Amino acid sequence: MPEGWIDLAKEAATSGLNTAMLVAAVCTLILAFLSAVVLRHVGIIGGDEPEAGEAAAPAEPAKSQV
């Protein structure tokens, strides 16, 4: 690695605020992903729509009122 990259890495590692913000951002992304997985598993999001490539169920034919 070039000398400048080493200095940059040392400064980033010693900066507590940057490290804390990075950890918070990663934790937020992980929490958002896990929340989406749980909500999809429970059925709150991603309802009964057919998957891509699957045919939708045919609708019932209308009955005449004769």
What H or E segment, with its residue span, contains residue 32? helix 16-42
Q: What's the pLDDT at 54? A: 61
pLDDT band at 3 (very low <50, low <70, confident <90, very high): confident
Distance CA 13, CA 66 (A): 80
Distance CA 47, CA 41 (A): 10
Q: What's the pLDDT at 31? A: 97
Q: What's the pLDDT at 44? A: 80
**Which pair of structure tokens corresponds to residue 5?**
């990259």
Q: What is the pLDDT of residues 11-61, one digit of tens each?
A: 777 777 778 888 899 999 999 999 999 988 887 877 666 566 666 556 676
The distance from CA 62 to its chain's CA centroid, rounded to whole angstroms, is 41
**Which pair of structure tokens corresponds to residue 45?**
């999001």
